[in-house]
Amino acid sequence: MSTVIREHKEPLIRISKRTHISRPRAWGIRAIALVLALAVSGLVIFAIVKLSPIKVYGAMFQGAFGTAKRSWATIRDTMMLLCIGIGLAPAFKMKFWNIGAEGQALVGGIATAACMIYFKSLPTPLLFLVMIICSVVAGCIWGLIPGVFKAKWNTNETLFTLMMNYVAIQLTSYFVAKWENPPGSNSVGIINPQPTDHAGWLPSLFGQPYLLNVIIVLLLAVAMFIYLKYSKHGYEIAVVGDSENTARYAGISVKKVFIRTMALSGAICGVAGFLAVSGASHTISTSTAGGRGFTAIIVAWLAKFNTFVMILISLLLVFMEKGAIEIASRYHLNDYASQIITGILLFFILGSEFFINYKINFRRKHD
Amino acid sequence: MENATAVQMKNITKRFGEVTANDKVSLDLKRGEILSLLGENGSGKTTLMNMLAGIYFPDDGQIFVDGKEVTIRSPKDAFDLGIGMIHQHFKLVDVFTAAENIVLGLDEKGKLDRKAIAEKVKEISDRYGFEIDPNQKVYNMSVSQKQTLEIVKVLYRGANILILDEPTAVLTPQETDKLFAVMRNMKADGKALVIITHKLHEVMDVSDRVAVLRKGQYIGDVATRDTDPQKLTDMMVGRAVTLNIDRPKADSLEERIAVEHLTVRDKDGVARLSDVSFTAYGGEILGIAGISGSGQKHLLESIAGLQDPEDGSHILYHDKSGADHELVGKNPLDIAKLGVALSFVPEDRLGMGLVGNMDLTDNMLLRSYLTGRGIFADRKKPKKLAETVVDELEVVTPSVATPVRKLSGGNVQKVLVGREIAMNPTVLMSAYAVRGLDINTSYTIYNLMTEQKMKGVAVIYVGEDLDVLLELCDRILVLCGGKVSGIVNGRTATKEGIGLMMTQICENPPRFEEKEVQA
């Protein structure tokens, strides 16, 4: 037995998995992460641009909530992001990687714009009905195509949905060229701009142009929460997401659930496109979705598909975006400065999940 | 070196969150002995050994190897100390040969000298009586050969303290005997061995000393010659337990399922079942024996409507009114709609039978979520059912709202079996229902199966422990390479006979007569 025996010291740091953590403690860790993120961003701001972090944070707040108009813009964009997040929730809960919300929202927007242009003479209630149906159907089809292909031929949905975005963008370019107004501007311009007309514009409520957006999206949030948590469909989605084998064992048709859920996911993203065109910009361009289809993926995952938590996260992300624009113009920084802050913030928030799931053990003191 | 202490573990404590897996456990292991480590599920056997193998790090306590205090931070440290562990799940590269797997990860300089490796492997094999071909690819190996390779691998690395975690779970009786012969040779060579097993007759057969753990605590150790299975069980469970399986005969048998010429091919076109025919009766337990991977999974899944059998296959269900229903070509939902109450406890508990991330209530819901009108799922009855199962089967869980993946293996199985039995089945199929379960839980499951049989249910029990199959089942169907090598009477068949049927090459499966075996 020629075993070489070596003395080892106990490792300085060991990581072990937590089996349980109380809810207040988990939120405590997240709060610490937020404070740390603000502190680190402050240091970075000071080190790079020699500005007082407090002033910069103040300016960001001004950018997002400085005036009533700004507050409403922040709320409007939050709702748009939230709406797409709600659309993604069932797909991601099913572990179906729908990266195509951008395209699904865009085709919803195209359908809405088309209705506003071609059916503007319809009576208002009928026009809205047609607009909503068209945008829902458009988004639905855009979600169904990858869903059906996945169910029938097991294609990779990540690539498929991603590529569907580019098709939607090209389609939008085509319609922008077709509906160009005025000619040569390379844009559609505001559709039905005369105040007496405004056909297909989502009406103001209590003098607030975006209040209806808020109501529609919050209703969707509540409905989706209930759908996922209490309905039979929601249960099927959860089972398929956890284990397709278990789903088959229980007699759930995995194909049917794939197709049905992607139709729903696309349809809600289509509604987001409707809100963007009819309820916000009143025009259509390739940037109507503005990358929110991708940002919403972060929203859905961070909230773990809980649509109420999504409200908070959407608000945080839009707040950062608005703040970025403000500090960029006020301090002549470019908006990378704020993207750095957003990055630091997300790093700490995501990083805090590690400390919620794992425990760090330090070396014991001997003797 | 004769009988010097090889390893001494002193006051070892290991906690996982609030659970104390090992509580001040002290254990020593001598050279030239085989120690059996015995305990129920979750008693901390594997945790304790994992600390010796460098996989976990103890929260408290000391480990001495050859009298010197050591710190084992990683499996590499363990190897340097001459400690090698053979895990339940093999860690081999399929496309490599035996020799390549053996040297994989060894940090040796220079070119790969296949000849020298082969020579050293041969030397080790001759010394202990292994049969191994250094040039055979792993994907061509049987389970037993793979296990041999794992053992040779740790010996090649100079291990003289070997830990075997449930090595016999996947072996036939003949292969187990071979393994034990090799273990005795290693013992004679002065090596120290630890074997973790749930099978008491193996403990009695191979070990010199038995150490018993219960709920993370060290209960004590006894010399094997001074004890017997009953005493060991009492030590393990902490109270007296009866170790007999009751095998009453049902008053009448009723034909329930007739499988005829069942052939199933997998995605690659390989036949996993060829021309399988048999009948299962209500009021009997039909055991299915065979080396793992002989087609057991495909057989049960075919009946459950989860496979797509070839044309010409028939699975007929005779309902109580005498009508026949063809199950081939139907999915589980269609089968349920026919009114066939088919319960199925699949081998892969969390990957097929249950949803790991869902709590007990939602897992009960899996079988009943479609009942009731409206779009909402009714969780009231499943919640009640979950509470009943927890109560009646003594499931250890913080509450019915705990995700099942957080429960221990035995409790997960109780949840699954509890749900399936609650369906009031006419056919109950189970695959490896007691795999990894401790004695106490295993007997609970056996009793439940027998209870169902006496209710007139047709029970199909796929098992791996032949002793249990012979005690529990009325008839035993033996599978070999996807074919039926015979159906024998569970009351008269012998272990050796079944062992041979499990391994025989069966080009032409013997045609069996149902009447003959119906004794």
Size of interface A-B (CB pairs under 8 A): 114
A115 in a structural domain: yes
> How close A304 comes to chain B (CA, Å)?
13
User: Does a structural domain hold residue B442?
Assistant: no
- The verdict on A36 and A139 lying in the same domain is no
- B154 and B303, same domain (yes or no): no
Question: Do β-strands B314-318 and B254-265 pair in parallel, antiparallel, or remain unpaired?
Answer: antiparallel
B111 contact partners, CB below 8 Å, separation of at least 6: none
Angstroms from B82 CA to nearest CA on chain A: 6
Query: How far apart (Å, rounded) are the C-alpha atoms in residues B302 and A245?
Result: 14
What whole-number percentage of chain B has pLDDT above 90? 15
Closest CB from B18, B70, B369 relative to A5: B70
Contacts of B377 in chain A (CB under 8 A): 230-232, 234-235
Tokens of A212: 């209806």
Q: Is residue B440 part of a domain?
A: no
Terminal CA-CA length for chain B: 58
pLDDT of residue A102: 92
**Per-residue H/E/C for B338-380:** CCCCEEEECCCHHHHHCCCCCEHHHHHHCCCCCCCCCCECCCH
Give the closest residue to A297 by CA, choosing from A168, A169, A170, A165.
A165
Nearest CA in chain B to A20: B17
DSSP SS3 for A327: helix
Residue at a domain's end among B423, B458, B480? B423
Instruction: State the ipTM, two decimals.
Output: 0.78
A6 CB neighbours in chain B (<8 A) are: 70, 77, 80-81
Same domain, B31 and B75: yes
Structural domain count of chain A: 2
Task: Judge whether residue A6 has pLDDT over 60.
Answer: no
CATH number at residue B490: 3.40.50.300
Give me the residue from B158, B356, B377 closest to A242, CB to CB. B356
- Are both A239 and A122 inside the same structural domain? yes
Strands, DSSP E only, in B81-223? 83-86, 161-165, 192-196, 209-214, 217-223
**Does residue A367 register a pLDDT over 70?**
no
Q: What pLDDT, on the 0 to 100 scale, is given for residue B229?
A: 83
Q: Is the dihedral of CA A323, A324, A325, A327 positive or negative?
A: positive
In this predicted structure, the answer to whether residue A255 has a pLDDT above a threshold of 80 is yes
The tally of domains found in chain B comes to 3
The total of other beta-carbon atoms located within 10 Å of residue A270's CB is: 33
Shared domain check, B297 and B367? no
A10 — pLDDT class (breaks 50, 70, 90): low
Residue B134 shares a structural domain with residue B34 = yes
Task: Check if B380 contacts A (Cβ < 8 Å).
Answer: no
User: Residue B519: its pLDDT value, please?
Assistant: 32
Q: Is B519 exposed, middle or buried (0-12, 13-18, 19+ CB in 10 A)?
A: exposed
Q: Are residues A89 and A26 in the same domain?
A: no
Same domain? For B82 and B149 the reply is yes
Confidence bin at B508 (pLDDT 50/70/90) = very low
Q: Does B95 touch chain A (CB under 8 A)?
A: no
Residue A299 domain flag: yes
Pairwise CA distance, residues B406 & B492, whole Å: 42
Residue B12 forms part of a structural domain? yes
Identify whether residues A85 and A187 lie together within a single domain: yes
Which chain B residues touch A361 with a CB distance below 8 Å?
A: 59
Residues B45 and B185 in one domain: yes
Helices and strands (DSSP H and E) totals, chain A? 13, 2
**Do B63 and B175 lie in a common domain?**
yes
Decide if A279 is inside a domain: yes
Among positive and negative, which fits the CA dihedral B465, B467, B472, B476?
A: positive
Q: Among the three residues B210, B237, B264, which one is the final residue of a domain in this structure?
A: B237
Instruction: Please check whether residues B233 and B256 belong to one and the same domain.
Output: no
Structural domain including A97 reads: 67-330
Instruction: With a cut of 70, say whether residue A3 has pLDDT above it.
Output: no
Task: Please check whether residue A299 is in contact with residue A314, taking contact to mean a CB–CB distance below 8 angstroms.
Answer: yes
Q: Same domain for A134 and A235? A: yes
At A263 the pLDDT is 94
Cβ separation of A1 and B375 shorter than 8 Å? no
B57 with B113, same domain: the answer is yes
Cα(B510)–Cα(B164) distance, integer angstroms: 38
Residue A191 counted as domain residue? yes
Work out the average pLDDT over B191-203.
Answer: 86
Average of per-residue pLDDT across B29-52: 87
Which two structure tokens, joined as six digits, stand for A230?
């209490």
Q: Residue B460 forms beta bridges with which residues?
A: B286, B429
What does each C-alpha distance from A275 to A76, A109, A140, A310, B383 come to in angstroms? 9, 8, 16, 18, 41
pLDDT band at B509 (very low <50, low <70, confident <90, very high): very low
User: Are B319 and B376 within one domain?
Assistant: no
Size (chain A), residues: 367
**Residue A273 placed within a domain:** yes
- The domain in which residue B408 lies consists of 350-423
User: Cα separation of B117 and B416, whole Å?
Assistant: 48
pLDDT band (50, 70, 90) for residue B46: confident
The residue assigned the tokens 């090209």 is: A170
Nearest-Cα distance to chain A for B232, in Å, is: 32
Residue A203 and residue A292 in one domain: yes
> In this structure, is residue A97 part of a structural domain?
yes
Q: According to DSSP H, which parts of A278-334 are helical?
A: 292-302, 307-330
Question: Are B63 and B79 in a shared domain?
Answer: yes
Give the per-residue pLDDT at A2.
39
Tens-place pLDDT, residues A150-191: 988 988 889 999 999 999 999 999 998 888 887 777 788 788
Q: For residues A265 and A308, what is the distance between their CA atoms, to the nearest angstrom?
A: 17
Task: Kindly state whether residue B443 falls inside one of the protein's structural domains.
Answer: no
**B455 inside domain:** yes
Q: Are residue A33 and residue A77 in the same domain, yes or no?
A: no
Whether residues A212 and A344 share a domain: the answer is no
A34 lies in a domain? yes
How do residues B204-252 score in pLDDT, each as one tens digit?
Answer: 889 999 999 888 889 888 998 888 888 888 888 777 776 678 888 888 8
Is B90 a domain residue?
yes
Chain A interface includes B67 (CB < 8 A): no
Integer Cα distance of A104 and A269 in angstroms: 6
Lowest mean pLDDT among A22-36, A81-95, B184-198, B493-507: B493-507
Q: Is the dihedral of CA A89, A92, A96, A97 positive or negative?
A: positive
CA distance A171 to chain B (A): 37
CB contact under 8 A, B355 and A14: no
pLDDT the model gives residue A92 = 93
Residues sharing a CB contact under 8 Å with residue A270, sequence separation 6 or more, in sequence order: A104, A105, A107, A108, A111, A135, A136, A137, A138, A139, A140, A142
Residue B206 lies in a domain: yes
B window 425-484, beta carbon within 8 A of A: none
* CA B349, chain centre distance (Å): 12
Residue type at A268 in one-letter notation: I
